Amino acid sequence: MQKGRLIVISGPSGTGKGTICRELLKGNDLDLSISMTTRAPRAGEENGVQYFFVSREEFLKTSEEGGLLEHAEIYGNFYGTPRAAVLEKLEKGRDVILEIEMDGAAQVKRSYPDAVLIFILPPSLEVLRKRLTGRGTETEEQIQARSSQALSEIHRIYDYDYSIVNDSLRDAVSDVRTIIRAEHLRVGAGSEALVRKYEEEE
């Protein structure tokens, strides 16, 4: 059995990463990585479903022991990706999807170099601004700032293995699946088992 691949989906905000991941998970052939957080559960949230809810002490202990693939502090709460939970799934041959902001993606690549980093791009900055306007949660100024930030973030494309322009959701999801399949065909550590199969025949 081939080991699963860790697929990291990242990119500027407003590019539709979350929607792509939700679509991908409908196939039931991929697992979502569940983050660990110190923030309190909201109504309806369950431990181990949306997040692993832990105390500050537990979070810091896990982090110090190298138990997180990446972590960040956001508005005073800690968030992180538990290494053990992800690795267990990969060992079982499941591919794992991790949707994460860009600093987190770079951290994951450092702590787990076999991770496959996919950068999701907007069709254009114009479309990105329209999407953000459509959300109705930000002022015109904030949207301009986000668009400028997106442009500077787009220059970080070289930290990634693949990039997908999210022009159409269907095509973007299909492209992620194409990348996952191709990564399984890649020659690497997993090829040893393949070679052994022929050796045993002789």
Name the site residues for a second copy (rule: CB under 8 A): 119, 121, 124-126, 148, 150-151, 154-155, 157-158, 160-165, 175, 178-179, 181-183, 185-187, 191, 194-195, 197-199, 201-202
Least gap, CB of 192 to a second copy (angstroms)? 9
Nearer to a second copy, 113 or 136 (CB): 113
Give all strands (DSSP E) within 22-173, no chain letters: 30-32, 35-37, 51-53, 68-74, 77-82, 95-99, 116-121, 162-165
Return the structure tokens found at 7.
């697929």
Return the structure tokens found at 187.
């020659």
Nearer to a second copy, 32 or 165 (CB): 165
Nearer to a second copy, 46 or 199 (CB): 199
Least gap, CB of 118 to a second copy (angstroms)? 8
**Residue whose entry in the numeric block shows the structure tokens 């989906």:** 9
Tell me which residue of 95, 85, 81, 124 sits closest to 24, measured CA to CA: 95
Q: Quote the DSSP letter at residue 39.
A: S
Least gap, CB of 79 to a second copy (angstroms)? 26
Question: Contacts from 189-197 at CB under 8 Å and sequence distance 24+?
Answer: 189/3, 189/114, 190/2, 190/3, 193/2
Nearer to a second copy, 74 or 194 (CB): 194
Report CA-CA distances (Å) from 113 to 13, 98, 163: 24, 14, 17
Least gap, CB of 27 to a second copy (angstroms)? 16
Nearer to a second copy, 98 or 164 (CB): 164
Please name the amino acid found at residue 164. I
Least gap, CB of 163 to a second copy (angstroms)? 5
